[in-house]
Amino acid sequence: MKQVKLTNQVLYLLSISAGLVVANLYYNQPLLHQIAVSFGVSESEVSHVALFTQLGYALGLLFIIPLGDKVSNKKILRIDFLIMVIALVAAGFANSLLILIISSFFVGFTSAIPQLFVPMAAQLSDDSNRGRAIGIVMSGLLIGILGGRVISGFVGEQFGWRFMFYAAAVMMVVLYVILKYKLPKINPQFSGSYASLMKSLLYYFKSDSSLRLATLRGALAFAGLSAFWTTLVFLMQDSFGYGSAVSGGFGILGIVGALAAAFVGKISSSVSNSSVILAATMLLIVSWGIFFISGHSIVGLVFGVLLVDLGLQSLHITNQKIIFSKNPEARNRVNTIYMVGFFIGGAFGTAVGAAAWELYGWMGVSVLGIVLSSLILIVHLVFRKAEM
């Protein structure tokens, strides 16, 4: 079977596409206050929109991404994008919080597609360039995560929250047309049934301790970041009187840090994985300490955002480099295991972060972040020999 070459054109198409699709998951976060007012519900109730988007994404990862080892990527994209566009339009037309929550679940479910692009880049790269390829695709994905908040914050304030979902649907139609003609077709290697494909997930999880550790680290880190982004819009409103545009504008700061993902991937071959993980975890702990004392300081929040995003992406890139270095025949499946854990952590952080805000305010959210980041450090120090 002829190997498709990973050209720079294809690599950057994967990166840009990953960012545009994954942004669908985060458009709702700066809009939560507007949505709550629109439907007359509490901040805790409206947080279910973000929660079910992330739960949908986790389930999409679990049931869609393993198919990358069995079904043509072009066929997966055709069906997935159709459902995605319908879900985005339904979210825009939602006349109740329940309908919006259900629509958001399917937006999250179908927006798992970028996680086909990361193992694709790893598969088409040679060993010496794999870290760079993963880093570039992840840069696009991370910029999409953060940029989505910036865009939706501005659009929501200028045109209302519904317009953002309509605009996203149009963008996805255009993106699908481009991918249909420009993305190379990948022929999958797995010949067994879907049931055996899914059963093999358990095998890889049980047999690979480094995969389990990477998944736990990623879940804890993303839980903290999700708690931050879910409650930031409430802090901006209560402590500073700012609307969704300012909350979403914090994503610009995160983009500065996200650009470092390509750099982290490039230097990863010359620095030990353990050292990068340790440094990234310390950045997370320090950033949450800064958040703790910055409930009334924009400057402190700005500095904290720069550090927390840099710490998370450094940890994330290293985790993926570790898991993709093994089991080359099942990269989509090991990525599924890792990313399902990652976004279950995000859903957990969203729910617990909202509860911490309701009970203890911003200090409660900050303590939650410190605890989660400290757990990463403990796990790394105790079990790091398992990855050597």
Whether 131 maps to a domain, the answer reads yes
| CA–CA dist 97, 186 (Å, integer) | 40
Whether 190 maps to a domain, the answer reads no
* Burial (CB count within 10 angstroms: exposed 0-12, middle 13-18, buried 19+), residue 175: middle
Whether 250 maps to a domain, the answer reads yes
Residue 144 sits in a domain whose CATH number is 1.20.1250.20
**pLDDT at residue number 105:** 97
Helix (H, G, I), strand (E, B) or coil at 30: helix
Q: How far is CA 85 from CA 162, 179, 334, in A?
A: 14, 15, 28
CB 153 within 8 A of CB 28: no
Joined together, the tokens standing for residue 70 give: 């069995």
Whether 79 maps to a domain, the answer reads yes
CB 212 within 8 A of CB 326: no
| Per-residue pLDDT tens listing for the chain (388 residues) | 445 677 888 899 999 999 999 999 989 988 988 999 999 988 788 889 988 998 898 899 889 999 988 888 889 999 999 999 999 999 999 999 999 999 999 999 999 999 898 888 877 777 667 777 887 888 888 788 878 888 998 898 899 999 999 999 999 999 999 999 988 887 777 888 999 999 999 999 999 999 999 999 999 999 999 999 888 888 888 888 787 667 767 767 766 666 766 676 667 667 788 888 999 999 999 999 999 999 889 999 999 988 998 898 889 888 988 888 887 778 889 999 998 888 789 889 988 999 999 999 999 999 999 999 999 999 999 987 766 5
Whether 324 maps to a domain, the answer reads yes
Domain, as residue range, for 259: 9-182+197-387
| CA–CA dist 56, 22 (Å, integer) | 12
Whether 158 maps to a domain, the answer reads yes
Q: How far is CA 142 from CA 185, 258, 299, 370, in A?
A: 25, 6, 23, 22
Whether 219 maps to a domain, the answer reads yes
Give the count of domains, the chain: 1
| CA–CA dist 144, 19 (Å, integer) | 4
| Planar angle of CA 350, 205, 59, nearest 5 degrees | 40
Whether 188 maps to a domain, the answer reads no
